[in-house]
Amino acid sequence: MIVFVALRNTWKRNSQLMLDAFAIQDVKVIESAIMYFKKIVSLA
């Protein structure tokens, strides 16, 4: 996986937006994606 970061100061906001999007989806989201947005992104 290759990741490009343009604006580092928006990580926390975008992380929360993704977690909110996961919560309202009908499809089951894989646990590694949830863990990434909850733990890894918050370290940045």
Note whether residue 1 is domain-resident. Answer: no
In the chain, what percentage of residues exceed pLDDT 70? 89
Count of structural domains, the chain: 1
Binned at pLDDT 50, 70 and 90, residue 44 comes out as low
Number of H helices, E strands in the chain: 2, 0
pLDDT at residue 10, rounded to an integer: 82
Note whether residue 3 is domain-resident. Answer: no
∠ CA 31-26-44, rounded to 5°? 40
Binned at pLDDT 50, 70 and 90, residue 19 comes out as very high
Note whether residue 15 is domain-resident. Answer: yes
Q: Select the more confidently predicted residue: 42 or 35.
A: 35
| Dihedral sign computed on CA atoms, order 7, 33, 27, 1 | positive
8-state DSSP, 26: S
Which domain does 13 fall in, by range? Answer: 8-43
| pLDDT at residue 5 tops 70 | no
Note whether residue 12 is domain-resident. Answer: yes
- Which pTM value belongs to this model? 0.69
Q: Give the whole-angstrom CA distance, residue 42 versus residue 44.
A: 5
Other C-beta atoms within 10 Å of 37: how many?
19
